[in-house]
Amino acid sequence: MTELEFSRIVGKYRASVYRLALCYTKNAADAEDVVQDTFLKLYTGNVGFPTDEETKAWLFRVAANRCKDLLRSHWYKFSEPLTDEMQAPEADEESGEVLAALSKLAPKTRTVIYMYYYEGYSAKEIAELIGDSETAVTSQLWRGRKRLKELLKNAGIDEGSELCEQLR
């Protein structure tokens, strides 16, 4: 892979890989580490893909696996984060409520919801990327939507809002 091609891929997918890692880790510093590890693996590995979509899928799979490794590590289990807040860009009030509600979901559920709604993957594609069955992903989506609706209702977002309509 040439440096120009690598730079193009990093520019195109860095933000998406970062958001995925942030969904898993809920920590900006850890998410940055995962992004760096993911792109380092792409650069140093002998991998090449015919399409950008296959490259994106590979990056997501590597990032998800790296996040899982990090969350299982002994060091991570017994360390305390400096801050409990997930750092997210400033957004309107409703988006802020969604991010807060999303951060309260379990890591696997957060990831499935993120990949489905934000990245546009189907349940089958998500299953292949995270190494689960399609049925498990569909169940995670169903449970995640249900829990997210509850959290948004508790936050005062009306069930008739456009956001809640999208979760149906």
| pTM for this entry | 0.62
- Taking CA atoms, 140 is separated from 101, 116, 134, in Å, by 16, 11, 10
Q: What confidence score (pLDDT) does residue 24 get?
A: 85
Query: What would the pLDDT profile of 42-101 be if each residue is shown by its tens digit?
Result: 999 878 888 888 999 999 999 999 988 888 887 666 665 555 444 444 444 555 667 777
In the chain, % of residues over pLDDT 90 = 29
> Hey, what domains does the chain have and what are their CATH numbers?
3-77 (1.10.1740.10), 93-166 (1.10.10.10)
Is 34 within 8 Å of 63 (Cβ atoms)? yes
Mean pLDDT (the chain) is 81
**Amino acid making up residue 37:** D
What is the C-alpha radius of gyration for the chain, rounded to an integer number of angstroms?
Answer: 17
Q: What confidence score (pLDDT) does residue 92 get?
A: 46
Query: What would the pLDDT profile of 27-44 be if each residue is shown by its tens digit?
Result: 888 999 999 999 999 999
Q: How far apart are CA 73 and CA 35, in angstroms?
A: 17
